[in-house]
Amino acid sequence: MNSSFYEFIKHMSSKKIPLPMDTHSSEEKVKPFRLVKYFTFTSLTVIFIGTLLLSLLNTHLARTMQQKKSEEYAHLLIENLNHQVFLQFIIPVALKFGKIQLSNKKQFERMDKVVRSTLHSFKIDMVNIYDITNTISYSFDPSVIGKEDAGGKGYQDALSGKSTSKLFQRGNWFEILLGFSQHSKLITFAPLRAEQPLSSISGPVLGVVEIVQDLTEDYKAIFSFQIRIINTCTVVMGALFLVLLFVVKRGEAIIEKRALERIRLKEQLSRSEHLSSLGEMVAGISHEIRNPLGIIMSSSELLKKKMTDYDPSNLIPNIIIEESSRLNNIITDFLNFAKPRTPNLVPCKLEDIIEKNMTFLASQIKGEGYTIDKHYDNNLPEITADSDMLYQAFLNILINAMQAMPQGGKIDVQICSNDNAVEIIFEDQGEGIAEDILEKIWDPFFTTKSKGTGLGLGIVKNIIESHGGSVQINNKSQSGARVTVKIPVELGV
């Protein structure tokens, strides 16, 4: 009878009571969004692309400004050269020789002197002067003098009165893109005109002037400056990134902590409602069974007395009494779990309660080969607690430890005080608890034993928590299990 009743209760406890929040359980256990992970990759990508684009934009802007400045510089030089050549070479030579012929050594030397003195201290790489037949009449490089059709489109534009400039660079596309090519030259073509004295109106085009400026070092200086800008931006953005990463990690930790706390509270609420419903059912059934059970026990006692006179060897009354008592103990466990009583708080000492447990278990400890090692701190404080309830809780823990070592063994009991609380640690040398069932040991009616209600640890937890304490069970590093009970010296502290 009691076996069927126990199996019925265990079956009912395993059935999940539907709760409104169960519909959200799958949503609550979805893998959380890894904010730091996505922020890290996104930020690094954005910072890298942003720094690269900013560098390219700054480099292009600086090179454009440098080229424009160099063009204006070339035009001013050509204008000054045009003036000096016309006044110091064309007019004197025309008056002296009647016509201009740079093939004449004296005329060439005079032209060279005028050009070089005019452009002295100016940064010019090459000067070429073309006549109106597109032939180089004068050049810093004697080897090109007399070369025909060398001006190209720039010469034709200048001959028509239009000044042009063009940048020539040598190197691969990557060097040219970033602005550190091996050779960068700006070539400017401008007309060489006759000047009218005391007039701003230019005369006819007499030839074409070509000025070549070497901008390689300027562009390399710009590139070096951009590198420094990139390094500075990288350091600043890196520092900003680290600050943002720290803030985001803190934020994610807070969000994750709150989410886990919310899930834990919901699971706790679901468990409490489940246990509450189960407790009401168990309490109702236990009360209904206890009344007829009392009649069975009293009747079996009466039957035992009468059978003693007629058939002393008949053991049936004893079996009925024994099984009724066992069923009564099971019902008592059910009621203690379903409706735990309120502690009767009085000053007591934990070491006295443990010693009382040892006295009760003394015969079993001695007869079955158990050894109890006790380690108590000196001057342990008195606590405010219900000594009878703690006696029951500690007794259940000690019995579980002994059952974990059926062949006998050592049980360590340690009591120490810490921060207005007292900690009791029970350690056995058994096989420990399998990891897959470690989280199930607190479930009501869950047991790995062939006999028992599976309510022992649940009752222990109810008793300890009713005193404002906590209880934890875990495996030791080598072998065996450890039960840690923490109870405040005074309830509410």
CATH number at residue 147: 3.30.450.20
Final residue belonging to a domain, choices 194, 214, 234: 214
Q: Which residues contact 361 (CB under 8 A, 6 or more apart)?
A: 395, 398, 399, 402
| Residue 286 belongs to a domain | no
Q: Can you tell me the distance from the alpha carbon of 417 to that of 377, in angstroms, rounded to the nearest whole number?
A: 7
| Residue 483 belongs to a domain | yes
| Residue 370 belongs to a domain | yes
- The angle, 0 to 180 degrees and rounded to 10, between the axes of the packed helices 35-85 and 216-310 is 180
Tokens 């430890």 appear where? 401
Looking at the structure, do residues 205 and 65 belong to the same domain, yes or no?
A: yes
| Residue 125 belongs to a domain | yes
Tally of domains within the chain = 2
Final residue belonging to a domain, choices 178, 199, 214: 214
Whole-number pLDDT of residue 130: 92
Q: Answer yes or no: are the C-beta atoms of 218 and 167 closer than 8 Å.
A: no
Instruction: Strands of 341-469 (E only): list them.
Output: 346-348, 370-376, 383-385, 409-417, 421-427
Q: Domain holding 444: CATH number?
A: 3.30.565.10
Is residue 371 helix, strand or coil?
strand
Final residue belonging to a domain, choices 157, 186, 214: 214
Whole-number pLDDT of residue 24: 43
Looking at the structure, do residues 345 and 206 belong to the same domain, yes or no?
A: no
Q: Can you tell me the distance from the alpha carbon of 68 to that of 65, in angstroms, rounded to the nearest whole number?
A: 5
Whole-number pLDDT of residue 17: 42
What is the CA angle 431-462-4, rounded to 5? 70
For residue 223 the two structure tokens come to 């590139």
**Dihedral class, residue 121 (left if φ above 0, else alpha if ψ from -120 to 50, else beta):** left
Whole-number pLDDT of residue 432: 78
Q: Answer yes or no: are the C-beta atoms of 224 and 253 closer than 8 Å.
A: no
| Residue 281 belongs to a domain | no
Q: Can you tell me the distance from the alpha carbon of 151 to that of 140, in angstroms, rounded to the nearest whole number?
A: 15
Q: Helix count (H) and strand count (E) of the chain?
A: 12, 12
288-291's contacts with Cβ under 8 Å and 24+ in sequence apart are 289/5, 289/327, 289/331, 290/328, 290/331
Looking at the structure, do residues 63 and 204 belong to the same domain, yes or no?
A: yes
To the question of pTM greater than 0.75 for the whole model, the response is: no
Looking at the structure, do residues 208 and 345 belong to the same domain, yes or no?
A: no
| Residue 64 belongs to a domain | yes
| Residue 293 belongs to a domain | no
* Per-residue pLDDT of the chain in tens (493 residues, 90 and over written 9): 445 444 544 554 454 444 444 444 444 444 444 556 666 667 767 777 877 787 778 777 877 888 888 888 888 988 888 888 888 888 888 888 888 888 888 889 998 999 999 888 888 889 999 998 999 999 999 999 989 888 889 999 998 889 999 888 876 776 666 656 667 888 999 999 887 665 555 678 888 999 998 888 887 887 787 778 778 877 877 787 788 778 777 877 888 888 888 888 888 787 767 666 666 666 666 666 766 777 777 777 777 777 776 777 777 777 887 777 777 766 666 666 656 667 788 888 989 999 999 988 888 888 888 888 989 888 888 888 888 888 888 888 898 888 888 888 889 999 998 878 899 999 988 887 777 776 666 666 556 665 555 566 777 888 888 888 888 888 877 778 888 999 998 765 4
Q: Can you tell me the distance from the alpha carbon of 414 to that of 424, in angstroms, rounded to the nearest whole number?
A: 6
Domain of residue 187: give its range.
38-214
Looking at the structure, do residues 350 and 207 belong to the same domain, yes or no?
A: no
| Residue 119 belongs to a domain | yes
Of 399, 406, 453, nearest to 431 (Cα)?
406
Of 440, 425, 442, nearest to 483 (Cα)?
425
